[in-house]
Amino acid sequence: MAPLARLYRFSYIDYARANASIGINGTVLTNVNANALVLTPAYLEKVKVLANVFRPYGLKVYLTARFSAPIEIGGLETADPLNAEVQQWWKDKATEIYNMIPDFGGFLVKANSEGQPGPQNYGRTHADGANMMAAAVKPYGGVVMWRAFVYSNEEPDDRAKQAYNEFKPLDGQFDDNVMVQVKNGAIDFQPREPFHPLFGAMPKTPMMMEFQITQEYLGQGTHLAYLSPMYKECLESDTYAKGKGSTVAEVIDGSLNNHRLTGIAGVSNIGTDRNWTGHLFGQSNWYAFGRLAWNHSLSSEEIAQEWIRMTFSNQKEVIRSITDIMMTSHEAVVSYMTPFGLHHIMGWGHHYGPGPWIANKHRADWTSVYYHKADKNGIGFDRTASGSNAVAQYYPEVAAKFSSLEQCPEKFLLWFHHVPWNYKMKSGEELWMAMSNEYQHGVQEVEKMQQQWQTLENSIDKGRFEQVKTFLKIQKKEAEWWRDACLLYFQTFSGKPIPKDIPKASHTLEYYEGLTFPFAPGN
């Protein structure tokens, strides 16, 4: 068994080396939904071993702290953050951890979100909960990363407003070793979202970005989607918090509000595959995250070409072809999945394929119809003053742009507006025609990616060439699945014909609605 143990050890060393090579200096060992067992002595011994392996590479370890741990493993009757026994339990636990791991980074917390316990269970605020844990780790230099991904157990008028409503009033109430960790958008890592309104809204609180590197909503392990352009779109968005030029990047790097404590998190796509990420191009998103974390002024092309040179070749034609593939890939995925600001229209129980028909579940805001609101009059979620008024959570200059049907960028049109099917787009086409063509455009972009990749057959080793070729074939088939299923479904509301130059769907709408995937990831 010794060689096997050594193999695992070297795998962890390789993991640490890879992260260190792009500037990643911390890793949370447990999922945000983890139970309290990792805080028990037997598991902390395992954490200590990993910390010892990672330390030479500058990689600190952090743990998810389950809020109810004092009850589940501590024998207490409450986890109320204002209870003296609970506060002492966390202080004792922090001392225990730091005695084993002197450079332990601190805790990541998901609380009062998607069924996870939290301070609101006891009538307390997120600041009360975060500050209790922050006090426990502060003597040792530890931090608390408190996630703002929350939405009420009682269905709100618009889930997109929930995090802002809960956290904005708490600005200035968090201790100085707490960072509020905010997803790039207000729903949940959709193929495209406008930037989260909390960025710029809490100037007294260090705000930490949470990007998703793994492609939960972007084809998971088989679709080629280079995400640096998506990250950059968010980072370069102007919040107008201190006038024009107050970008999201300046909020999270601390420069806008003079914060010393800063951070950026990525939900990792690193697995047990020999190439780490399954799809080879998944590596480029891991790499891009690390590069942008320390220099958000780098262009997506620069980052792509760095990665291509290290991964494939220094030949100009190879670099050019692969750069073209990568730079068009994210927009292609958005086009065949969620064009013009559509969002949250994936299947039920997993986040893989299309499911715009999902309705009548135990929470309306876990269904697709809640978000696209298609009817005979049009499609899209009205977040203007005539609807949920989520636009009011942005600074006036941003709110004015998003509120105006004419000024709203078309890439966010259906995120902020319920738009008639015959609305004239900037192209001159009616919305239904433009939507149909956008779905088709996404498929065509994947076909173009296939053709470009094929030209590289003699420039890339056979194994990697064939793997990417196979995944692109899957991606093409599934892009057609998204196009056909969504257009057939939305056609039932628009009442308009699907353009003749779009290939006829391979199956009926009933066929697509009847597909089930009981073993898909997420179930």
Could you give phi then psi for residue 423, rounded to 5 degrees? -60, 135
Residue 253 known to be catalytic: no
Q: Quick one: 427 exposed, middle or buried, by C-beta within 10 A (0-12, 13-18, 19+)?
A: exposed
Could you please report the per-residue DSSP string of 7-56? HHHHHHHHHHHHHHHTT--EEE-S-TT--GGGGSHHHHHHHHHHHHHHGG
> Which position among 80, 158, 166, 188 bears the catalytic label?
188
Catalytic residue among 216, 331, 382, 480: 216
| Burial label, 513 (beta-carbon count in 10 A; 0-12, 13-18, 19+) | middle
Three-state SS for 397? helix
Q: With a cut of 80, say whether residue 504 has pLDDT above it.
A: yes
With CA atoms as reference, report the closest residue to 264 among 292, 241, 236, 284: 292
Answer with the residue of higher pLDDT: 6 or 40. Answer: 40
Question: What is d(CA 351, CA 475) in angstroms, rounded to the nearest whole number?
Answer: 15
C-beta of residue 300 within 8 angstroms of C-beta of residue 288: yes
pLDDT at 155: 67
Query: Is 301 annotated as catalytic?
Result: no
Mean pLDDT to the nearest integer, 110-120: 92
**CA angle in degrees (0–180, nearest 5) for 371-374-375:** 145
The pLDDT tens digits of the residues spanning 287-328 come to 999 999 999 999 999 999 999 999 999 999 999 999 999 999
CA dihedral 443, 447, 452, 457 (to 10 degrees): 130
More confident residue, 146 or 522: 146
Say which of 45, 85, 114, 236 is annotated catalytic: 114
Model confidence at 523: pLDDT above 60 = no
CA–CA distances in Å: residue 409 to residues 406, 415, 416, 417, 498:
8, 10, 10, 11, 25
Residue 366's alpha-carbon distances to 147, 158, 350, 394, in angstroms, are: 20, 12, 11, 24
Kindly state the average pLDDT of the residues 447-462.
Answer: 98
Check if 114 is active-site.
yes
Q: Specify the pLDDT at position 4.
A: 45
Residue 324 has what pLDDT?
A: 98
* Statement: residue 151 has pLDDT above 80: yes
Q: What is the pLDDT of residue 5?
A: 45
Confidence of residue 1 (pLDDT cuts 50, 70, 90): very low
Label residue 373 left, alpha or beta by phi (over 0 means left) and psi (-120 to 50 means alpha): left
